[in-house]
């Protein structure tokens, strides 16, 4: 979230798309309701009429996978009718920036496409530069090569009629949404966009979100109270785990993971990864990247990290190829992994194309599952139909404590790191994740050191033996999460009297080895004043918009709304004086912790400090699949692409293991999609063991329309078989008029919606929806396309 949960209440329009927030983020609705109580309106766009839709002022249905068409229609509506916040757009976005005249877009393909590699060479997407190396601009927005004009041309193809033919949303409903949302282009009106996995889990997932961002920029809604782009994270700490580099392509604090072929040493990494700008208006915050990386290396390798050895940069693992989730399991399937540790994850239920994941796991020599209970994955070898005798994998199940049985921080969607105390002792021999990792590491290091000492040949011992790993107090047998949190915050290594003191924040981090910091964005969370995350102050800030800056701690530097420089005009006056976030007094900033440091005035620096140009990108020259969003169909689809002659996003590569199992409408004529219900938690191992919750949702079920039920002779509560090119599952059918077929390109198409919480383990078991889903993903994020694929359904 650029904003935070409480801030939703400040919105005039709450636009929920790709999210069933009422179901999956119930607490968010406290604030949605508060916005409505203030007179705000709520829009919900969803393939089904959901719990969220039931509380919406305006509901519009769209076929899964057509967000770009729908939202681009709104972009076109806004541009054609000039419903944009002009001053904001000119000043704070790249609308006025001139693009290389060689940039072209033709029939779904942007200039620079390599059809063999399915990638783009992005030279033609670059800005035109003046003789000082600063991007050229035309603030009148008339130059045919300026982003505004290119954008107008790109999106004018998305007419309301096209939106209807592609998405199935009637023109009338589309227009209602467009009209209500675009009412927030006025400077003192604001909309928030709340989205979740319904938007991201597509082969065009990142570009879906791009359409939201473009709209929020055109309306001038970024940085304002009640505005922003708000990703509702699907787990209580998924924000924290992403911040700390859960994903393969980053290291903590969103620094790029070193790539073996080019980031060969520290100098090369810094050169390849640190953006530059000649524009004096740009803060170009990532210029500080070397400080963050070197400080992280000091935290990780301690005294071993010295200037003369590149601060142990060589000891960081380097990526030889992209290894996102799906590729990892493909590699496992190909026999490239000996073992796997699954901590709090249940991949045979949660991962796409789970039959493949099962086959992959069967090839492991050993597997460790660390969880609260037996999970479906931990008992994969005795699932129905398994050839148990042939499976050689040795399985270890380690008992872990639950979230209330351990101390530590949890970062919510609004970037609040909130410290939790330990409420009670875990049962039996269960331990915390921290203790598991700590014990495992110390044991492994002991083995390495032993072998090195004994003169045995050991491959690459240094990353293990030289790591700065000390998370226990002397004499203790358990790691202390406070020590970890202090390291994440960072501390002075050198610098005279400050040695050993906690960092105040990341502004003082240095690239010379004098500071250590585990994760720069969390610097300031645990200072000499103590654990800021444990704060529970109830005082609001001077702007009284519900920021509560003394409650816990928010990254970065306790800033509650990021890009808040965009909340004021160039004079520093808030766009909406009644709901101001920050304001410039002529010499200082008031309100929220302003972006990019307190000294620069609003007319001296651009607000979008993480981009080297300092403004937001309506035209994004860095993405894998194009600078503007364009509609493409899912890998498996019921429709032909009405926008261009390409079906699938041209930047998507399909994995070898997936190529032979792509279904078509001949055998699988219906749209399949998947989602969650409030009663179950993700892959279900936590909730399918709780009788109060299985009372509410005891079985795997799908939702189908009255018309599909009639055509297939299925009654409510019947058992059905649902199949895709990758497998078949049993399910119950919920027949409901909340689900309706879509009229796509003149033809009616039906949808089968499924929950994905069930698997063949736990107290209540059932078939897993992910038996059916494809392992194909977005070219930028590699998130799998769980939300749109092809299935068939029969009465069982």
- Phi and psi at residue 368, to the nearest 5°: -110, 125
Q: What is the DSSP letter of 282?
A: -
Q: Applying CB under 8 A, does 795 fall inside the site for other proteins?
A: no
Which residue stretch of 27-35, 492-500, 576-584, 590-598 sits at the interface with other proteins (rule: CB under 8 A)? 27-35
| 11 in contact with other proteins (CB under 8 A) | no
Give the separation between CA 14 and CA 28, rounded to whole angstroms. 11
User: Is residue 730 close enough to count as binding other proteins by CB under 8 A?
Assistant: no
Classify residue 258 by its DSSP letter.
P
# binding residues, other proteins (CB under 8 A): 37
Question: For other proteins, which is the closer residue by CB, 61 or 258?
Answer: 61
- Dihedral angle, C-alpha 139, 144, 146, 151, nearest 10 °: 120
Minimum CB–partner distance for residue 51 and other proteins (Å) = 5
Among 1, 8, 16, 22, binds other proteins (CB under 8 A): 22
Interface residue with other proteins among 387, 585, 692, 713 (CB under 8 A) is: 692
Q: Point out which span in 180-188, 412-420, 636-644, 684-692 binds other proteins (CB under 8 A).
A: 684-692
Q: Which of 53, 216, 239, 780 binds other proteins (CB under 8 A)?
A: 53
- Comparison of 18 and 777: residue with beta carbon closer to other proteins: 18
CA distance 431 to 429: 6
Told to check if 54 binds other proteins by CB under 8 A, we report: yes
| Position 29 contacts other proteins (CB under 8 A) | yes
Element (H, E) at 240: helix 238-243
Segment interacting with other proteins (CB under 8 A) among 80-88, 454-462, 487-495, 687-695: 687-695
Which window, 19-27, 225-233, 321-329, 348-356, contacts other proteins (CB under 8 A)?
19-27
Least spacing, CB of residue 169 vs other proteins, in Å: 13
682 binds other proteins (CB under 8 A): no
- Piece of the chain touching other proteins by CB under 8 A; list 22-30, 193-201, 256-264, 649-657: 22-30
Among 3, 10, 15, 51, binds other proteins (CB under 8 A): 51
Q: How far is the CB of 103 from other proteins (least distance, A)?
A: 42
Residue written as tokens 């072209």?
A: 104
Footprint of other proteins on residues 144-183 (CB under 8 A)? 173
d(CA 665, CA 750): 12
Residues 732-761 that bind other proteins (CB under 8 A): 732, 734, 736-738
Cα–Cα distance, 187 to 218 (Å, whole number): 11
**Least separation, in Å, of the C-beta of 54 and other proteins?**
4
Q: How many helices (H) and strands (E) does the chain have?
A: 22, 31
Quote the least distance from Cβ 337 to other proteins, whole Å.
39
Least distance in angstroms from the C-beta of 504 to other proteins: 37
To the nearest whole angstrom, how small is the minimum distance from the Cβ of residue 699 to other proteins?
5
Cβ nearer to other proteins, comparing 16 with 744: 16
Taking Cα atoms as reference points, which of 46, 40, 57 lies closest to residue 20?
Answer: 46
Q: Which is nearer to other proteins, 312 or 755 (CB)?
A: 755
Nearer to other proteins, 59 or 628 (CB): 59
Using CA atoms, how far apart are residues 50 and 56, in angstroms rounded to an integer? 10
- The single residue among 213, 284, 694, 724 that binds other proteins, judged by CB under 8 A, is 694
Strands (E), 115-168: 119-120
- Interface residue with other proteins, options 27, 390, 538, 666 (CB under 8 A): 27
Nearer to other proteins, 494 or 691 (CB): 691
Region binding other proteins by CB under 8 A among candidate stretches 63-71, 422-430, 587-595, 692-700: 692-700
DSSP secondary structure code for residue 616 in this structure = B
d(CA 457, CA 304): 22
Q: Identify whether the C-beta of residue 652 lies closer than 8 Å to the C-beta of residue 662.
A: no
Residue 359 has φ and ψ, to the nearest 5°, of: -65, -35
The Cα–Cα gap between 47 and 739 comes to 8
Nearest to residue 220, comparing CAs of 337, 390, 93? Answer: 93
CA angle 474, 472, 298 (to 5 degrees): 110
Question: What residues form DSSP beta bridges with 657?
Answer: none
Q: Which of 444, 598, 696, 711 binds other proteins (CB under 8 A)?
A: 696
By the rule CB under 8 A, 699 interacts with other proteins:
yes
For residues 515 and 301, is the Cβ–Cβ distance under 8 A?
no
Q: What angle do CA 97, 103, 108 make, to 5 degrees?
A: 120
Rounded to whole angstroms, how far apart are CA atoms 46 and 194? 12
Tell me whether residue 49 or residue 248 sits nearer to other proteins (CB atom).
49
Burial of 496 per CB tally in 10 Å (0-12, 13-18, 19+): exposed
Q: Which helix (H) or strand (E) holds 152?
A: helix 147-155
User: Cα-atom radius of gyration of the chain, to the nearest Å?
Assistant: 26
Q: Which residue number, 54 or 542, has a Cβ lying nearer to other proteins? A: 54
Q: Give the interface with other proteins as residue ranges (CB under 8 A).
A: 22-23, 26-27, 29-30, 32-33, 49, 51-55, 57, 59, 173, 677-679, 690-699, 701, 717, 732, 734, 736-738
């Amino acid at each position: 979230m650029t904003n935070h949960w409480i801030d939703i209440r400040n919105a005039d329009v709450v636009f929920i798309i790709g999210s069933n927030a009422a179901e999956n983020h119930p607490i968010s609705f406290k604030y949605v309701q508060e916005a409505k109580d203030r007179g705000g309106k709520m829009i919900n766009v969803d393939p089904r009429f959901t719990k969220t839709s039931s509380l919406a002022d305006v509901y519009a249905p769209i076929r899964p996978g057509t967000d770009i068409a729908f939202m681009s229609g709104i972009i076109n509506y806004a541009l054609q009718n000039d419903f944009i916040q002009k001053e904001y757009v000119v000043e704070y976005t790249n609308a006025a920036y001139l693009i290389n005249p060689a940039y072209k877009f033709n029939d779904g393909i942007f200039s620079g496409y390599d059809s063999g590699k399915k990638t783009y060479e992005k030279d033609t997407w670059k800005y035109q530069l003046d003789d000082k190396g600063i991007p050229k601009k035309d603030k009148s927005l008339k130059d045919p090569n300026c982003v505004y004009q290119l954008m107008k041309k790109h999106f004018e193809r998305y007419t309301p009629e096209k939106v209807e033919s592609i998405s199935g949303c009637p023109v009338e409903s589309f227009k209602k949404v467009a009209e209500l949302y675009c009412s927030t282009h006025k400077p003192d009106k604001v909309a928030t966009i709340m989205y979740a996995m319904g938007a991201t889990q597509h082969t065009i997932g990142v570009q879906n979100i791009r359409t939201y961002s473009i709209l929020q920029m055109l309306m001038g809604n970024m940085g304002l109270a009640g505005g922003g782009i708000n990703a509702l994270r699907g787990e209580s700490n998924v924000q924290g785990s992403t911040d700390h580099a859960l994903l393969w392509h980053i290291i903590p604090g969103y620094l790029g993971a070193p790539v073996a072929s080019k980031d060969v040493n520290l100098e090369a990494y810094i050169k390849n990864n640190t953006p530059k700008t000649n524009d004096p208006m740009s803060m170009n915050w990532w210029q500080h990247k070397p400080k963050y990386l070197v400080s992280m290396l000091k935290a990780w390798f301690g005294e071993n990290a010295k200037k003369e050895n590149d601060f142990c940069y060589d000891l960081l693992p380097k990526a030889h190829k992209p290894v996102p989730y799906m590729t990892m399991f493909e590699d496992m399937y190909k026999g490239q992994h000996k073992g796997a540790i699954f901590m709090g994850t249940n991949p045979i239920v949660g991962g796409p194309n789970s039959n493949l994941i099962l086959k992959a796991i069967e090839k492991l020599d050993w597997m460790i599952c660390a969880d609260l209970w037996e999970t479906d994955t931990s008992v994969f070898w005795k699932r129905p139909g398994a050839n148990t005798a042939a499976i050689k994998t040795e399985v270890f199940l380690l008992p872990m404590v639950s979230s209330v049985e351990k101390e530590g921080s949890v970062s919510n969607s609004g970037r609040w790191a909130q410290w939790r105390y330990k409420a009670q002792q875990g049962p039996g021999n269960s331990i915390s994740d921290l203790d598991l990792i700590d014990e495992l590491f110390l044991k492994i290091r002991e083995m390495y050191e032993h072998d090195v000492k004994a003169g045995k040949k050991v491959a690459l011992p240094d990353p293990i033996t030289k790591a700065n790993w000390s998370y226990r107090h002397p004499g203790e047998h358990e790691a202390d999460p406070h020590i970890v949190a202090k390291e994440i915050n960072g501390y002075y290594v050198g610098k005279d009297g400050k040695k050993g003191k906690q960092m105040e924040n990341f502004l003082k981090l240095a690239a010379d080895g004098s500071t250590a910091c585990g994760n720069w964005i969390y610097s300031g969370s645990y200072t000499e004043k103590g654990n800021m995350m444990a704060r529970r102050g109830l005082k609001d800030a001077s702007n009284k918009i519900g920021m509560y800056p003394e409650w816990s701690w928010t990254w970065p530097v306790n800033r509650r709304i990021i890009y808040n420089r965009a909340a004021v005009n160039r004079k520093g006056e808030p766009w909406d004086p009644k709901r101001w976030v920050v304001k410039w007094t002529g010499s200082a900033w008031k309100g929220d912790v302003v972006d990019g440091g307190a000294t620069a005035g609003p007319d001296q620096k651009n607000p979008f400090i993480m981009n080297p140009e300092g403004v937001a990108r309506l035209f994004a020259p860095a993405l894998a699949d194009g600078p503007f969003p364009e509609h493409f169909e899912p890998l498996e689809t019921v429709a032909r692409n009405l926008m261009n002659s390409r079906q699938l996003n041209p930047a998507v590569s399909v994995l070898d293991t997936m190529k032979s199992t792509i279904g078509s409408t001949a055998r699988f004529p219906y749209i399949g999609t998947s989602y969650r219900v409030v009663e179950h938690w993700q892959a279900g191992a936590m909730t399918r063991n709780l009788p109060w919750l299985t009372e509410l949702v005891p079985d795997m079920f799908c939702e189908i329309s009255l018309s599909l039920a009639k055509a297939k002779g299925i009654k409510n509560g019947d058992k059905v078989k649902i199949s895709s090119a990758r497998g078949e599952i049993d399910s119950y059918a919920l027949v409901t008029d909340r689900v309706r077929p879509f009229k796509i390109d003149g033809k009616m198409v039906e949808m089968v919606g499924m929950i994905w919480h069930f698997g063949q383990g736990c107290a209540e078991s059932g078939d897993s929806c992910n038996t059916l889903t494809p392992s194909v993903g977005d070219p930028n994020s590699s998130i799998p396309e769980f939300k749109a694929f092809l299935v068939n359904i029969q009465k069982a």
